[in-house]
Structure 1
Amino acid sequence: MEKLDRAPTATGPETSFTGEVLMDAIRGPRGESRAAMNHVHFTPGSRTHWHWHPVGQTLYGTDGIGVVVTRTGEVLTLEPGRTIWIPPREEHWHGALSASPMSHIAVQEADENDETVIWLEPVSDAEFARATNAVGA
């Protein structure tokens, strides 16, 4: 058993996020465990860019209400206590609604190349509006 050091809160990079996003790293892949975990905090209207995970991703809502959106246009709400599973290689994005902050714990595994996420292009304002309008936000 080992007590891990707490990492300082980091700002989500502009290459992966739109708006102000703060990230608390819980842990990265370590030894034989390939799991990486972060507690991610989105200000109202902030969001990830489009991306996918080689081994999939689990999101667990902790605060506020947000959305998780796939390339096919499926929109799910993410609220405290809700878990959403995104299968391997499914392109998606997630973020807070325009009027509410949102936080979630993100869990993903590294693949054989130590990759946990592949980042793509930013989510457009029109894509964001379409998703949030779909949930009545």
Structure 2
Amino acid sequence: MLKTGRVLLCAALSLATAPAFAESAQQIVPLGENPAFSQLNQFFSGDVSVVPMFRADGFAISSVSEVTFLPGARTNWHSHPGGQVFIVTSGVGYTQAWGEPIQVVKAGDLVHCPDDVKHWHGASKESPMTHIALTGHDDEDGSVEWLEPVTDEQYNGPLAAQ
């Protein structure tokens, strides 16, 4: 499973950066060039760190960020007009599509959120979780539509059978 996730990550990164490679062989983005986001409490509950790796622009057709959630932290409900793939790199977390049971995800898992599917994701109650998010960009609608917060009742809802 981990090998498959790495292969898919490489393929996704290759597609995400295709426009950049048409222009030049390499581009180096120094560490710290894209500082962490602040003021996240309007989009997340709990302690979350979002470090953008690169944004959808002339460099790439997708944005890529490393997102770390401390135990119990999570996104609001949201959707992505261009879809999203995230690869869990450490810890244990949850993800849920609207109307579905909560899914448990762990290091090495790859999650594909199709275009416009209302969902949330975050850490489990007991463990932090970090993922690399590859988010598609739609020229008309951007990359994310933020919706209402996930309630404690929703977060503590039933888990899907493993």
Ranges in structure 2 where 5+ consecutive residues have no aligned partner? 1-25
Contact 2:77 2:149 in 1 (8 A): yes
Question: Quick check: which has more Rg, 1 or 2?
Answer: 2
- TM-score under structure 2 length normalisation: 0.77
Q: In the superposition, relative to structure 1, how do residues 28 and 34 fare at CA in structure 2: closer, same or farther (>3 Å)?
A: same
Tell me what 1:19 maps to.
46
Percent of matched pairs sharing the same residue: 31
Q: Which has the higher strand share?
A: 1
Contact 1:50 1:120 in 2 (8 A): yes
- Asked if 1:53 is matched to 2:80, the reply is yes
In 2, distance between residues paired with 1:71 and 1:42?
20
In 2, distance between residues paired with 1:8 and 1:32?
17
Match runs of 1:1-137 below 5 Å: 1-5=26-30, 6=32, 7-11=34-38, 13-31=40-58, 33-113=60-140, 115-130=142-157, 133-134=158-159
What are the Cα deviations for residues 3-48 of structure 1, in whole angstroms up to 9, with x where unaligned? 0133223346111000010011110012163210100000000000
What are the Cα deviations for residues 76-128 of structure 1, in whole angstroms up to 9, with x where unaligned? 22211110101000000001011110000111111022600000000000000
Letter of the 1:83 partner, please give it: L
- TM-score under structure 1 length normalisation: 0.90
Ranges in structure 1 where 5+ consecutive residues have no aligned partner? none
Letter of the 2:29 partner, please give it: L
Moved over 6 A (4+): none
Residue correspondences, number: 134
Contact 1:11 1:21 in 2 (8 A): no
Aligned-pair distance for 1:70?
Answer: 0.8
